[in-house]
Amino acid sequence: MRRAYKYAVLAAMIVSTLALALAVSAGGLGYALPFPAVRNLAYWYLKTTYNPFMPKFTVSAPEAVTAIVWDYRGLDTLFETSVFFLAIIASMALMRGIDIRVPESMNLSKYGMSAIVKTVTKITVAIILAASASIALHGQLTPGGGFQGGATAAVAPLVIIVIFSLYFAVGSGIRKKSMLTLRTLGLLGIGVTSFAVIVAGLILGKAAYVFQNQPKEAAPIGLPSHILGVPMGGTLLLFNIFEFLAVAAGFTIVFLLLSVPEESVRKVLEGGEEHD
Amino acid sequence: MISPETLVFGVLAALGLISMVATFMAVMERDLLKAVLFSAVQSTAYAFMFYILMAPDILLVYVPVAVGLYPAVILFLIKKTERFEGGEEE
């Protein structure tokens, strides 16, 4: 009875989805394009993202999405990054007092999966890190960017923890403190980059904005748009690198804390605040 | 003769259906480990849909998060709690 009910619900969902898809593709919502105002905005982004003939308006990065994320609406992304940072800080505060330490007498090679899996993982981790670096560093040229690259890179420590054991990861330098240092460095870098142009403007005696990238009409100063003839998008490259560090390290901290064996830290997790 | 556009929309529809069925199975499944796998199937279908809809930026963040990090977090949580969802019947 229960099983029949389940399949009836599933069949009804499939039929209604198909009916909805048919209605939409038959023009149920109309074939009209979006509102002209929205289209003008998209037109403006596409026209100015990489346009050497409009030097006062261009971001000089061929990748429109990264340009929008870190230049046109860069402040939004700055606050998104701060929210993510606060979430990591909150999870660390929840699990405060946990010290992941490798026992002295532990033979690390006995832990984890078999030698075949470990060998394959060594190769895979190298590939994951190379791919993530390429995603992050080419963020201003091709699809991708700091967050995408950082999320990809965070898979590498996760795989190491699962295949080689947590203690191997901690022993080989993936520690909570070092990851937090990397993460703070990334956020600091983002902050420094957003003030870089205005500080340069103060030194050179020219007007500049916070979060400025390329020279603008009233602020004729900006970061280099091309390095060795390759479009670098000024601040976009720096933002991508620092965001890559921050995201990868942040996810790694969470996985380190989640993978601690619960028996060893139960006292820390259960115990409340100490009272005198 | 099927035009390329129809083919693309047909593939999109098929992927959408796969993702919907997988989501339904994930919600109904009592074994949470299997539910995570169904959820990963749904994520894979979505990843292909993002690619077909020409959103490579979303795809690049969706693949590691939805296929790598998110199932890993859920698996850690299942390991810390219980594998089977408790129920009042059966």
Whether residue A10 and residue B24 make contact (CB cut-off 8 A), yes or no, is yes
Provide the number of structural domains found in chain A: 2
Same domain, A249 and A116: yes
Residue A125 has pLDDT above 90, yes or no: yes
> Can you read off the two tokens belonging to residue B74?
């859920």
Query: In the A/B pair of chains, how many CB contacts fall below 8 A?
Result: 60
Q: Which of B16, B69, B76 is closest, CB to CB, to A151?
A: B69
d(CA B35, CA A160) in angstroms, rounded, equals 24
Domain that holds residue A23: 1-32
pTM equals 0.85
Please indicate, yes or no, if residue A41 is contained in any of the structural domains.
Answer: no
Residue in B closest to A151 by C-alpha: B64
How many angstroms separate the CA of residue B65 from the nearest CA in chain A? Answer: 7
A254 interfacial to chain B (CB closer than 8 Å):
yes
Residue A17: alpha-carbon gap to chain centroid: 33
A143 interfacial to chain B (CB closer than 8 Å):
yes
Please indicate, yes or no, if residue A276 is contained in any of the structural domains.
Answer: no
d(CA A72, CA A109) in angstroms, rounded, equals 50
A25 interfacial to chain B (CB closer than 8 Å):
yes
Please indicate, yes or no, if residue A59 is contained in any of the structural domains.
Answer: yes
Higher pLDDT, residue A8 or A229: A8
Please indicate, yes or no, if residue A237 is contained in any of the structural domains.
Answer: yes
Residue-wise pLDDT for A155-209, tens only, equals 999 999 888 888 888 878 888 888 889 998 998 998 888 888 888 888 888 888 8
Which residue of B12, B76, B88 is the best one to mutate when testing the A interface, meaning the one whose CB has the most A CBs within 10 A? Answer: B76
Confidence (pLDDT) at B1: 75
Confidence (pLDDT) at B90: 46
B29, B38 in Cβ contact below 8 A?
yes
Please indicate, yes or no, if residue A275 is contained in any of the structural domains.
Answer: no
Please indicate, yes or no, if residue A274 is contained in any of the structural domains.
Answer: no
Higher pLDDT, residue B49 or B5: B49
Residue in A closest to B28 by C-alpha: A6
What amino acid is encoded at A43 in this protein?
A: Y
Tracing tokens 């909805």 back to the chain, one arrives at A20
Which residue of B42, B61, B79, B88 is the best one to mutate when testing the A interface, meaning the one whose CB has the most A CBs within 10 A? Answer: B61
Confidence (pLDDT) at B47: 93
Please indicate, yes or no, if residue A38 is contained in any of the structural domains.
Answer: no
Phi first, then psi, for residue B45 (nearest 5°) are -60, -40
Residue A87 has pLDDT above 60, yes or no: yes
What amino acid is encoded at A80 in this protein?
A: E
Same domain, A60 and A3: no
Q: Chain A partners of B73 at a C-beta cutoff of 8 Å?
A: 254, 258
Instruction: State the ipTM, two decimals.
Output: 0.81
Please indicate, yes or no, if residue A171 is contained in any of the structural domains.
Answer: yes
d(CA B53, CA B47) in angstroms, rounded, equals 10
d(CA B79, CA B67) in angstroms, rounded, equals 18
d(CA A96, CA A167) in angstroms, rounded, equals 19
Same domain, A20 and A65: no
Same domain, A94 and A202: yes
Same domain, A28 and A59: no
Same domain, A75 and A26: no
B49, B17 in Cβ contact below 8 A?
no
